[in-house]
């Protein structure tokens, strides 16, 4: 049994560091910033994070776009939670915030050797100019006070009547600081070019449980 835990830890660590390396090569909308474990019914959480979007234009020039993101989550029923999120750009042209909401459904709970798996679906609007749909498939594993996670995050924005799909590989680690406090570090890397650009982001922040005991 212990060997299985070690193997799972090694696999997740390799995947996470691969995503971290890719993230530095590559702007993002609020990120994922949670694990595959859903909140207990009536439990709620509030997270704040700083995010730096990285865009490499035409394969050469690199630009940075800092944001502040807020996340509020609440457990609905066992295995299902709901989250509201808002992203506020700190630099560049102000086009309004990115606002969104989604429902996360737990497909597999975290066990002694098995990871947690969840599926999230939702939507967002950007500066009241255009909107889109979101979908995220996530895997995470509790390893002591650390909980690494990886996700495949897809956004489909509807701009000018046309759909623009963006697929992001996301990796992060949730550090359990105390019973009701966590620190998260997350990176994302777009898997395909959009308008000739490649992009990614780096995000760091804290999550606090406001009611009940979280997961």
| Residue pLDDT, tens place only, 126-146 | 887 889 999 999 999 999 999
What are the structure tokens assigned to 158, written together? Answer: 């509807």
What are the structure tokens assigned to 197, written together? Answer: 């650009």
Distance CA 137, CA 211 (A): 26
CB 199 within 8 A of CB 190: yes
CATH code for the domain defined by 2-211 = 2.40.160
- Does position 5 have pLDDT exceeding 50, yes or no? no
CB 73 within 8 A of CB 214: no
Distance CA 82, CA 61 (A): 38
Total-model pTM: 0.80
The span from the first CA to the last CA of the chain, in angstroms, equals 24
DSSP letter string over 21-39? HHHHH---SS---S-SSPP
* Residue 6 pLDDT class (50, 70, 90 cuts): very low
Q: Out of 92-101, 103-112, 180-189, pick the least confident.
A: 92-101
């Amino acid at each position: 049994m212990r060997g299985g835990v070690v193997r799972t830890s090694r696999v997740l660590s390799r995947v996470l560091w691969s995503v971290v390396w890719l993230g530095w090569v590559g702007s993002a909308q609020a990120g994922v910033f949670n694990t595959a474990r859903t909140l207990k019914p009536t439990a709620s959480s509030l997270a704040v994070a700083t995010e730096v979007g990285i865009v490499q234009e035409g394969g050469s020039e690199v630009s940075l776009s800092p944001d502040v993101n807020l996340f509020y989550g609440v457990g609905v029923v066992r295995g299902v939670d709901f989250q509201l999120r808002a992203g506020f750009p700190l630099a560049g042209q102000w086009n309004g915030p990115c606002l969104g909401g989604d429902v996360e459904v737990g497909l597999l709970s975290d066990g002694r050797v098995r990871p947690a798996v969840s599926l999230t679906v939702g939507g967002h609007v950007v500066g009241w100019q255009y909107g889109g749909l979101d979908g995220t498939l996530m895997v995470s594993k509790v390893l002591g006070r650390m909980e690494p996670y990886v996700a495949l995050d897809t956004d489909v924005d509807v701009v000018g009547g046309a759909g623009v799909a963006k697929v992001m590989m996301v990796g992060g680690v949730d550090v359990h600081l105390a019973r009701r406090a966590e620190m998260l570090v997350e990176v994302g890397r777009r898997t395909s070019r959009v308008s000739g650009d490649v992009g990614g982001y780096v995000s760091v922040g804290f999550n606090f449980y406001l009611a009940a005991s979280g997961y």
